């Protein structure tokens, strides 16, 4: 059961591994607080729609399932949009049109179609939580990199006398501003994706080596105990 939850965070992380839901990811990743707000919205919509799709799967005719899923998703997006406008107006202004655009976020329709419409309620619930948390973490990582390097700050929620903005000494006076602008988002996700590819390649080479150590390398490696050099690391 636990694996249904954890796969969304690491192995099938929607942002880095299967590259879904990129539009909102990049557009709102200028500040950490936006990432948190967007993540919360997506988790709620994912949970709501996966629960409903899973419960209604026996009643929705096969041929009109996609439009039905879209209506369910759009209803939850409307709830998020209205709640955010009422209780977090500044966040709602920051995210702008991207709250409503959660509707076309391919993660949600993708999970409804590929998972919730075939599985039991409990599994769908864990899947939604895992995917939602994985999405939020990915978004947080991107926005943290962009905000710290691009503005030298970390913007969180304002509490009491704390205005919600952490300034990083040295960086906030001379930040690499390009990262906070539109091109920065594309560059950051490109480099992050390459990093994850490299880690994956390293793991694969290492596993292949452990499973079947190449004859020539065995003696040398055993002698000095070093790990095999990998293609990506070389």
SS3 90: helix
SS3 153: strand
Q: Residue 166: enclosing H or E segment and its boundaries? A: strand 165-167
Under the binding rule (CB under 8 A), the answer on residue 82 touching other proteins is yes
* Helix pair angle (121-151, 32-56), 10° resolution: 170
Provide CB contacts within 8 A for 109, sequence distance 6+.
66, 69, 70, 73
CB of 22 to other proteins, least distance (A): 5
Under the binding rule (CB under 8 A), the answer on residue 75 touching other proteins is yes
Q: Of the candidates 12, 40, 60, 81, which one interacts with other proteins according to CB under 8 A?
A: 81
**Site mask, other proteins, residues 24-53, x = CB under 8 A?**
xxxx--------------------------
Under the binding rule (CB under 8 A), the answer on residue 198 touching other proteins is yes
Question: Of 86-94, 154-162, 167-175, 188-196, which segment contacts other proteins by CB under 8 A?
Answer: 188-196
Under the binding rule (CB under 8 A), the answer on residue 178 touching other proteins is yes
Per DSSP, 174 falls in state S
What's the CA dihedral at 162, 80, 133, 195 to 10 degrees?
Answer: -80
What is the sign of the dihedral through the CA atoms of 21, 24, 27 and 29?
negative
For other proteins, which is the closer residue by CB, 74 or 165? 74
For other proteins, which is the closer residue by CB, 90 or 218? 90
Cβ atoms of 98 and 28 closer than 8 Å: yes
Under the binding rule (CB under 8 A), the answer on residue 89 touching other proteins is no
Binding site for other proteins (CB under 8 A): 19-20, 22-27, 67, 70-71, 74-75, 77-78, 81-82, 97, 100-101, 103-106, 109, 178, 181-187, 189-191, 193-195, 197-198, 201, 231-232
């Amino acid at each position: 059961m636990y694996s249904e939850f954890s796969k969304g965070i690491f192995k099938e992380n929607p942002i880095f591994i299967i590259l879904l839901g990129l539009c909102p990811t990049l557009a709102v990743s200028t500040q950490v607080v936006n990432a948190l707000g967007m993540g919360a919205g997506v988790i709620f919509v994912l949970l709501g729609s996966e629960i409903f799709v899973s419960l209604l799967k026996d009643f929705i005719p096969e041929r009109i399932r996609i439009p039905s899923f879209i209506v369910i998703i759009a209803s939850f997006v409307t709830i998020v949009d209205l709640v955010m406008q009422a209780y977090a107006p500044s966040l709602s202004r920051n995210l702008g049109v991207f709250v409503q655009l959660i509707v076309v976020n391919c993660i949600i329709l993708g999970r409804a179609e590929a998972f919730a419409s075939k599985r039991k309620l409990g599994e769908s619930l864990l899947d939604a939580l895992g995917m939602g948390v994985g999405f939020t973490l990915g978004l947080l990582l991107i926005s943290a990199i962009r905000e710290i390097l691009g503005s030298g700050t970390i913007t969180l929620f304002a509490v009491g006398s704390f205005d919600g903005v952490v300034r990083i000494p040295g960086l906030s006076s001379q930040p690499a501003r390009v990262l906070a602008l539109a091109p920065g988002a594309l560059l950051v996700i490109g480099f992050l994706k390459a990093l994850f590819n490299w880690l994956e390649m390293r793991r694969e080479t290492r596993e292949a080596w452990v499973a079947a150590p190449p004859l020539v390398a065995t003696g040398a490696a055993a002698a000095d105990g070093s790990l095999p050099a990998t293609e990506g690391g070389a």
